[in-house]
Amino acid sequence: MSKKYKTLLSPAKIGNVELRNRTIMAAMGMSQSDNGFVNKATINHYAERAKGGVGGIIVEVTCVDTPLGLNTKGMLIIDDDKYIPGMTDLANAIHEGGAKAFLQISHTGRGARRPIIGDQPVGPSAVAMPYSYMMGLANETPRELTIPEIHEIEEKYAQAALRAKKAGFDGIEIHSVGYYLGQQFLSKTANIRKDEYGGSCKNRMRFHTNIIKRIRELCGEDFAILLKLPAIEIGTYAGISIFDAMYYYKEFQKLGVDAIEVLAGKWSSEAGKNEAPDSAYKDCMAVALSVVMKVGVFLQTGHKNTIPYIAGGRAQNPVAAEKVLKRKECEFIFVGHGLLAQPDLVNLYAEGREDEIRPCIGCGHCIDHQLQHGGKAICSSNPVLARGDNDYTITPAKKSKHVVVIGAGVAGVEAARIAAIRGHKVDLYDKAKEVGGQMNLADKPPFKENFKLLKPYLERQLELTGVNVHLGTEVSKDDILKMNADAVVCATGVIPSMLKIPGAERAINANDVLAGANTGKNVVVIGGGSIGCETAELLKKQGKNVAILEMTDTLAGNTGKTNQTILLSHLKGHGVKLFTESAVQSITDKTVVYKDKAGKEKSLPADTVVMSVGNKPNTALYDSLKDEVKEIYNIGDSNGGGIIPNAVYDGYTVGCQL
């Protein structure tokens, strides 16, 4: 075992529950249950992380009160004894992998949406959930809960905890961050009640106080009670000050909570002009909140806090995690998306195999695909996540084949990697001199630093699996036919589209700009999709005067809601001129002519015009071979992949089929 992470990998206790190390998988909704019941996919998902070495697993947000408390249609449920058998299987699977099991219990409150629950949502007060770019959601005004209804919900939390105990869980976590009911009661903007549940901090925490006391009464001292709690609520609609939070942390410690997971809540309709999305988050970025809360408790009591704090925020990097633990800034590290991307993350730490870690790049598809599209969590790095039954088994091929893969983007590399693992002889070709394909451009705009982590992983996987890599090598149909391959995989990417308008030849493509092409002082970007907007942001950062012309009414519409809000806040904040519902007519030596929404012809000055009007699949090689090669596949962007998770999944699926 690696000695580099002595503190991180040392055992520690939460209450009377001892964990084998100080890593905890944070609860993350997957939306993959069967009408609230644990299924095979749920069990496989958590069992894989338990086998992967994590110390404790907090199972995703689980509803204590259906239908009003539901978040998504695929949310787990624990409001009835009928869910206990499945939960028992889940707890057993986690324990068999060597991890401790905690169940996160929650009610969505005013964050619940009518299409999901079939009714008006409820909350501590009739105050609508405002739009938050952190979630990409707003909601209708809820119905204010009556005191008898609050008492009923408190008991439902407690009974949910009791069911978790009966199922074999080591404890529960009460979810009180974000748009969930717990935080709503604690926030003075969401909770404006004048009775015993509102007003003072003591009254606003009464909901939690009653729940915690009742859980302890029902479940005993050996059953761990964790609390996911904001250290501050920030933004336009902030309702929990840092001093409120210090009071809560002190009081919840006195109440007998065994550990607190430290985070922040945010309510803001727009991001700051330099605010970072997940793709630029720094390692262990939220640990500072834990330090502040420790200081707050000390100032109030004269004593150090006596319960462990669980902190993190992009804590996939073990060097950073070890550092904050050694400095006692927190007692446990929570890892979220890093464990979605790499299930055996902690084992890789322990075995000194950090260079094999599949990174989270911070794309946000895991969240967006659920909340915005009503689907399951998906991942740009991990093709298995929430696909099918979450089965990570790779079956050896019955017969070894010679497989030729054309294109070393994410789809091609994944196909080559899986095929090689299964025992095939694989040759991978790309005319470029580096692997990565479109990722080598996707990581160039501002705030995309974490995208850069994927390329070293791809290179290392090709090395580990023994794929024969031929870079800087363009192959033709005849070249491939001469190879006498048993199977051919085409992953040849896309060809940028261009508008057929007068003067189009004067424009350059957005890819050229991302690759480093020089531009003039005044730049007009035609096309306001994600690539166009990100290119505009890069140009603005270079000091250019930038305008975007988009023919629809939406900018960056193919970007997840959270990242879209952040990106548009950057563009507006830095003065990029944004024109929607504008149809470009022509490009001249010095201007771009367009028609606005009203049909009036206008023009913008332009030293350089950048075209970003989409891409079309590059199927030329596949089309030339499909009738001459018996086993041939077309995958990734050349098959209309569209987003990174789909391209990676394409590669994985074909690799398993070969």
* Active centre residues (catalytic): 180
Alpha-carbon gap, residue 614 to 8, rounded angstroms: 45
Q: Treating both helix axes as pointing N-terminal to C-terminal, what angle do 530-541 and 561-573 enclose, rounded to 10 degrees?
A: 30
Alpha-carbon gap, residue 379 to 409, rounded angstroms: 16
Give the Å distances, CA to CA, from 37 to 41, 107, 157, 244.
Answer: 11, 17, 18, 37
Write down the H helix ranges in 542-630.
561-573, 620-625
DSSP, res 397: P
Q: Treating both helix axes as pointing N-terminal to C-terminal, what angle do 242-255 and 206-219 enclose, rounded to 10 degrees?
A: 20
CB burial of residue 235 (10 Å; 0-12, 13-18, 19+): buried
Give helix then strand counts, H and E, for the chain.
22, 28
Alpha-carbon gap, residue 183 to 178, rounded angstroms: 7
Alpha-carbon gap, residue 496 to 515, rounded angstroms: 14
What three-state secondary structure class fits 138?
coil
Alpha-carbon gap, residue 475 to 489, rounded angstroms: 13
Alpha-carbon gap, residue 515 to 443, rounded angstroms: 10
Q: E-assigned strands of 112-242? A: 122-123, 143-144, 171-175, 224-235
511 token code pair: 């890819």
Alpha-carbon gap, residue 389 to 42, rounded angstroms: 8
Contact 130, 90 (CB under 8 A): no
